[in-house]
């Protein structure tokens, strides 16, 4: 008995009918279903653990980045505080110099006023005629 590979077999049955009659689908047994379910559980568990490890790695990287950034900002803050302290010292120094310069200017002004203006007033008063003092 030979089989013809065309649409009709030697018995007059089409190949589609032959295949459907000769291939019988078996329902999975309880053991096969349990094995499939076990494989699915293992696969799901491995997937979850993989995602958990990935999330932990990302969290650790974020934490390290935040720590590095905090250290950098802390260093910049210390540098800024030191610069502020230096500038405050400079301000006090220049304020003291300004105060001393103002004291000297006041002393010089007073000396000029006493020596030149009062002296000139005294000379003017001595040199005026007596009738000029009464105010005309």
What's the pLDDT tens digit per position in 75-119?
999 999 999 999 999 999 999 999 999 999 999 999 998 888 877
In the prediction, which pLDDT does 2 show?
Answer: 46
In the prediction, which pLDDT does 25 show?
Answer: 57
Domain boundaries, the chain: 33-125
Q: Any idea of the CA torsion for 114, 118, 120, 122, to the nearest 10 degrees?
A: -140
The predicted model scores a pTM of 0.46
> Is the pLDDT assigned to residue 1 strictly greater than 70?
no
Phi, then psi, of 5 in degrees rounded to 5: -85, 5
Instruction: Output helix, strand, coil percentages for the chain, rounded to the nearest 5.
Output: 80, 0, 20
Contact 28, 22 (CB under 8 A): no
């Amino acid at each position: 008995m030979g089989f013809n590979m065309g649409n009709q077999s030697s018995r007059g049955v089409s190949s589609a009918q032959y295949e459907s009659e000769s291939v019988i689908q078996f329902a999975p047994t309880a053991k096969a279903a349990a094995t499939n379910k076990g494989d699915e559980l293992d696969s799901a568990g491995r997937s979850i653990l993989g995602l958990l490890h990935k999330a932990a790695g990302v969290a650790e990287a974020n934490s390290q980045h935040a720590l590095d950034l905090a250290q950098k900002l802390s260093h910049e803050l210390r540098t800024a505080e030191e610069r502020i302290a230096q500038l405050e010292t400079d301000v006090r120094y220049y304020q003291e110099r300004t105060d001393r310069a103002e004291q000297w200017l006041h002393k010089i002004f007073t000396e000029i006023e006493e020596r030149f203006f009062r002296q000139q007033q005294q000379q003017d008063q001595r040199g005026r005629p007596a009738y000029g003092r009464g105010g005309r």
